[in-house]
Chains A and B, each alone.
Chain A
């Protein structure tokens, strides 16, 4: 054994440093953290309470009516599925593109994907009239000898979201295995046991690494098409119908873009405070934020473009039904929401052309909040306005404001953030191994 060269030594030190820093983030939670956790938990309980009440009394409490049969729940469903997307985008696609800044976001993005999908998956159930029969939506052999209707976009949803959830969960988990091994090494007692189970006996032998990388690449390339497919399918829930304002060919790309847009915003929203709380400035640099801000800007431009196209389609169609709906969107009962959406999704992001603002984290933070609100309203506007002004004028009507529905929607945010906070404390928020690799 020859004595190691000094270079090696400091690399080793740096490595240990990395390990320490990341792992310290998993140590004892701060008071602020606990406060946040408490708040989110409270919100989540609100969700459960409201949901329970709704099941008991029936959907009358959800503010929907005739003609507006879909309201906040489906809005939130689409929204949350959308949020999920950028997770896959960042971790899978950027991985394939070997984008450097990925490493700062991928873990939290993947976590976000999984959690938001959990939340999203909840909403179709919440919105069911008879939730106790939800299993009728799954195709399985039964004594009744009847199957589901495979023509219905809702069934496609079941599959799309289901697949997406499984894949992204596996992707998330597989990505974490080496880090879990490290955590196992540095923890003891009961914790050690858990982590050793989780890390599936990872030793980091070259052969393991070889297999691991192959698997990861495979999963990444599996997940990539899903980014496009899943939200296209979700968008078909609307595009496949004949409702004016829904029945449009551009919906699939339009929704995907929107999804990535909102997702990216959410990532920024999550990572900026996380960076502060866990003091990871060293690893998540401002440049990384600038890069991701570029994605935000880019997708915002696409979304804006689709808005314009949408209106042009309505205008050129000369179809009275379409025209009415789009006029109604701009000037009708929900115009405030529409204009907030325009501001949040199209105007505000334009400022990101300025480099200074791109690199200004507080500004980014605020922007992404606006984007998220805007995106929620986008879905809301699309769904509600189209239903409120459809074919037969006799049926025109607007839904009722509902505390329960709002409670559930807010609760869903609570649930999401709760899960994320827990994740922050239980798992390494940055991929230690990748950071180490970068040191060589």
Chain B
């Protein structure tokens, strides 16, 4: 016992740290890891390559608080003809035929006590990439800003936008 005391202590110590590491990883895996989407939609192809504008699909961004996720029929408009042989596109077709909306996984979500208006921000001439990053370069969409209150406030201050709590909280 006496002679093994040191390795035991060491192992215990490092074991604890390792547990912590696992904990962090679990957390990351659960909350921060970009979830896989039902369809491997690539903004890269649509925006970067095909140079389609954002508001072609997210058509309410300039009109409403929510940017709007394109309706399945919207996808079908083009993909009736384009790249119909690709497996991912076939998936869309399936959803369309079963009259089922596509259950996209939400990446940019705010707590429900937050009021955020896409319209207002865009009307102020703030570019989408300020909060969403270079989406056009993303093969799979991911969150590149913390979207935490501190971050919002910093930006609001820097643009001397209102910082009254009520501006964002409901």
A and B touch in the complex (CB under 8 A): yes
Is A144 an interface residue when CB atoms closer than 8 A count as contact?
Answer: yes
State how many angstroms separate the Cβ of B106 from the closest Cβ of chain A. Answer: 22
Interfacial chain B residues near A143, Cβ < 8 Å: 148-151
Q: How far is the CA of A142 from the CA of B150 in the complex (A)?
A: 8
Main secondary structure of the interface of A (DSSP, over half): loop
Is A205 an interface residue when CB atoms closer than 8 A count as contact?
Answer: no
Q: Mark A111-145, 1 if CB is under 8 A from B, else 0.
A: 00000000000000000000000000000001111
* A-facing residues in B153-169 (Cβ within 8 Å): 153-154
Q: How far is the CA of A143 from the CA of B153 in the complex (A)?
A: 9
* B-facing residues in A353-385 (Cβ within 8 Å): none
Q: How far is the CA of A298 from the CA of B15 in the complex (A)?
A: 61
> A143-B150, A143-B151, A144-B150 known; 10 other A-B pairs, CB under 8 Å?
A142-B150, A143-B148, A143-B149, A144-B148, A144-B149, A144-B153, A145-B149, A145-B150, A145-B153, A145-B154
Closest A residue to B157 using CB positions: A145
Interfacial chain A residues near B151, Cβ < 8 Å: 143
Interfacial chain A residues near B153, Cβ < 8 Å: 144-145
Closest B residue to A143 using CB positions: B150
Interfacial chain B residues near A142, Cβ < 8 Å: 150
Residues of A within 8 A of B (CB): 142-145
Count B-side interface residues using an 8 Å CB cutoff. 6
Q: Which of A142, A144, A145 has the most CB of B within 10 A?
A: A145
Q: How far is the CA of A144 from the CA of B154 in the complex (A)?
A: 10
Q: How far is the CA of A142 from the CA of B151 in the complex (A)?
A: 11
Q: How far is the CA of A224 from the CA of B76 in the complex (A)?
A: 80
Q: How far is the CA of A145 from the CA of B154 in the complex (A)?
A: 9
Q: How far is the CA of A143 from the CA of B148 in the complex (A)?
A: 8
State how many angstroms separate the Cβ of A212 from the closest Cβ of chain B. Answer: 36
Residues of B within 8 A of A (CB): 148-151, 153-154
Q: How far is the CA of A145 from the CA of B150 in the complex (A)?
A: 6
Interfacial chain B residues near A144, Cβ < 8 Å: 148-150, 153
Q: How far is the CA of A143 from the CA of B150 in the complex (A)?
A: 5
Top 3 nearest A-B pairs by Cβ distance? Answer: A143-B150, A144-B149, A145-B153
State how many angstroms separate the Cβ of B110 from the closest Cβ of chain A. Answer: 14
Closest A residue to B146 using CB positions: A143
State how many angstroms separate the Cβ of A132 from the closest Cβ of chain B. Answer: 15
Interfacial chain B residues near A145, Cβ < 8 Å: 149-150, 153-154
Q: How far is the CA of A349 from the CA of B153 in the complex (A)?
A: 60
State how many angstroms separate the Cβ of B143 from the closest Cβ of chain A. Answer: 16
Closest A residue to B151 using CB positions: A143
Q: How far is the CA of A142 from the CA of B148 in the complex (A)?
A: 11
State how many angstroms separate the Cβ of B139 from the closest Cβ of chain A. Answer: 30
Closest A residue to B163 using CB positions: A145
Q: How far is the CA of A142 from the CA of B149 in the complex (A)?
A: 10
Q: How far is the CA of A144 from the CA of B150 in the complex (A)?
A: 4
State how many angstroms separate the Cβ of B127 from the closest Cβ of chain A. Answer: 24
State how many angstroms separate the Cβ of B20 from the closest Cβ of chain A. Answer: 21
Interfacial chain A residues near B150, Cβ < 8 Å: 142-145
State how many angstroms separate the Cβ of B25 from the closest Cβ of chain A. Answer: 23
State how many angstroms separate the Cβ of B137 from the closest Cβ of chain A. Answer: 27
Q: What are 13 A-B interface contacts by the 8 Å CB criterion?
A: A142-B150, A143-B148, A143-B149, A143-B150, A143-B151, A144-B148, A144-B149, A144-B150, A144-B153, A145-B149, A145-B150, A145-B153, A145-B154
Q: How far is the CA of A330 from the CA of B150 in the complex (A)?
A: 52
Closest B residue to A142 using CB positions: B150
Q: How far is the CA of A144 from the CA of B153 in the complex (A)?
A: 8
Q: How far is the CA of A282 from the CA of B149 in the complex (A)?
A: 65
Closest A residue to B154 using CB positions: A145
Q: How far is the CA of A142 from the CA of B153 in the complex (A)?
A: 12
Q: How far is the CA of A351 from the CA of B148 in the complex (A)?
A: 65
Closest A residue to B150 using CB positions: A143
Closest A residue to B148 using CB positions: A143
State how many angstroms separate the Cβ of B150 from the closest Cβ of chain A. Answer: 3
Q: How far is the CA of A145 from the CA of B149 in the complex (A)?
A: 8
State how many angstroms separate the Cβ of B165 from the closest Cβ of chain A. Answer: 9
Interfacial chain A residues near B148, Cβ < 8 Å: 143-144
State how many angstroms separate the Cβ of A30 from the closest Cβ of chain B. Answer: 37
Closest A residue to B149 using CB positions: A144
Q: How far is the CA of A374 from the CA of B55 in the complex (A)?
A: 72
Closest A residue to B165 using CB positions: A146
Q: How far is the CA of A256 from the CA of B154 in the complex (A)?
A: 46
Q: How far is the CA of A284 from the CA of B154 in the complex (A)?
A: 64
State how many angstroms separate the Cβ of A130 from the closest Cβ of chain B. Answer: 13
State how many angstroms separate the Cβ of B88 from the closest Cβ of chain A. Answer: 38
State how many angstroms separate the Cβ of A141 from the closest Cβ of chain B. Answer: 10
State how many angstroms separate the Cβ of B66 from the closest Cβ of chain A. Answer: 24
State how many angstroms separate the Cβ of A213 from the closest Cβ of chain B. Answer: 42
State how many angstroms separate the Cβ of A409 from the closest Cβ of chain B. Answer: 34
State how many angstroms separate the Cβ of A149 from the closest Cβ of chain B. Answer: 13
Interfacial chain A residues near B154, Cβ < 8 Å: 145
State how many angstroms separate the Cβ of B154 from the closest Cβ of chain A. Answer: 8
Closest B residue to A144 using CB positions: B149
